[in-house]
């Protein structure tokens, strides 16, 4: 009995240990929107196939994705928070920052639009209307790129969002859309995730089109001078791929329910 168990355990260890965890790969931290929108599910396999490199993608909020990269725990970072990105570049954590694509943010909400933001001229006006009417608003509250953007927009509107109507969920874009949908609340969302979730929720795009809602995505390599172990060669290949002809064509042609989610930005 004991022997049998010991044998079983050893066999399990031997079978599992060497083969599975050894493989080399390119590690990337990224925002949830690139994954939740489904884009990386078509972009990355093309790269993996071309170079025979496995991609390990860690999808978290942009804030955390940047920190993971700054700690040297990944090789490449794919995010959307230009101000924060430039800070990391200035401190020498990342190099080769390149524009990949862009889309825009939208404010989603119940079709009845209780705060009447559909007629607003600017996003500042829209947010003011939400705050004035105390209409429920669900914030990411997770230091993600979308959350950073949202904070900037409130600030620009001269409002400090506070009170029962303003709820910080502390979760990813998809989760926040679900929560907002349940509460019939407003929320700021990136267009990519909004389109990807459109058929799973009753929320509609209520406000869009202000230039302040521009949402650019950049890819950066973790600086090998700062973190010796990073696979800069692979990171560079990835950056060249997504900003190159093939990657840009995949981004251009990526559609969900017939709608384009991202617009290629590389020159």
Partner 1 sequence: MDYFSHSLSVALELIFQLDPAVWQVVWTSLKISLMAIVIASAMAIPLGALIALNEFAGKRFIQQLLNTLMAMPTVVVGLLLYGLLSRRGALGDLGLLYTPWAVVIGECLLIFPIILNLTVVAIQSADSRLLPTLHSLGANRGQTMWMVLSETRFAIMAAVVVGFGRALGEVGAAMMLGGNIEGFTRTMTTAIALETSKGEFELGLALGLLLLSIAFLVNLFLQLLQRRAV
Residues in contact with partner 1 by the rule CB under 8 A: 1-2, 4-5, 9, 12-13, 16-17, 20-21, 25, 27, 36, 54, 56-60, 71-74, 171-172, 174-175, 177-178, 197, 200-201, 227, 229
Closest to partner 1 by CB, 129 or 178: 178
Query: Are the CB atoms for 128 and 161 separated by under 8 Å?
Result: no
Q: Which is nearer to partner 1, 4 or 52 (CB)?
A: 4
Q: In angstroms, give the least distance from the CB of 122 to partner 1.
A: 31
β-strands 25-30, 76-79 pairing: parallel
CB of 90 to partner 1, least distance (A): 19
At its nearest, how many Å lie between partner 1 and the CB of residue 100?
20
What phi-psi label fits residue 241: left (phi over 0), alpha (psi between -120 and 50 degrees) or beta? Answer: alpha
Give the residue with the Cβ less far from partner 1, 198 or 266.
Answer: 198
Instruction: For partner 1, give the closer residue by CB, 12 or 156.
Output: 12
Q: What is the largest CA-CA distance in the chain?
A: 77
Q: Are 266 and 239 a contacting pair, CB within 8 Å? A: no
The closest alpha carbon to 103, from 235, 221, 254, 258, belongs to 254
Question: Helices in 112-144 by DSSP H: which ranges?
Answer: 123-133
Looking at the Cβ atoms of 13 and 249, the one nearer to partner 1 is 13
Phi, psi of 189 (to 5 degrees): -135, 150
Nearest approach, Cβ of 230 to partner 1 (angstroms)? 9
Minimum distance of partner 1 from residue 127's CB (angstroms) = 25
């Amino acid at each position: 009995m004991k022997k049998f168990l010991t044998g079983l355990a050893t066999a399990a260890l031997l079978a599992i240990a060497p083969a599975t965890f050894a493989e080399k790969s390119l590690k990337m931290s990224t925002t949830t929107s690139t994954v939740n929108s489904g884009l990386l599910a078509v972009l990355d396999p093309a790269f993996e196939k071309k170079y025979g490199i496995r991609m390990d993608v860690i999808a978290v909020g942009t804030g955390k994705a940047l920190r993971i990269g700054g700690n040297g725990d990944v090789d490449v970072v794919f995010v959307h928070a230009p101000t924060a990105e430039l800070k990391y570049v200035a401190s020498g954590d990342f190099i080769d920052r390149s524009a990949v694509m862009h889309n825009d943010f939208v404010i989603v909400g119940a079709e009845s639009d209780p705060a009447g933001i559909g007629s607003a001229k600017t996003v500042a006006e829209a947010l003011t209307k939400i705050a004035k009417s105390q209409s429920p608003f669900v914030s990411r509250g997770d230091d993600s790129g979308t959350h950073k953007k949202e904070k900037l927009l409130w600030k620009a509107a001269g409002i400090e969002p506070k009170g029962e109507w303003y709820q910080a969920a502390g979760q990813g874009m998809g989760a926040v859309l679900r929560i907002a949908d349940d509460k019939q609340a407003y929320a700021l969302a990136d267009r990519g995730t909004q389109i990807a979730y459109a058929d799973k929720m009753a929320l509609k795009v209520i406000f869009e089109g202000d230039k302040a809602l521009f949402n650019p995505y950049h890819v950066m390599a973790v600086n090998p001078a700062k973190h010796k172990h990073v696979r800069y060669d692979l990171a560079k290949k990835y950056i060249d791929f997504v900003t190159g002809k093939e990657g840009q064509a995949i981004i251009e042609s990526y559609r969900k329910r017939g709608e384009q989610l991202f617009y290629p930005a590389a020159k």
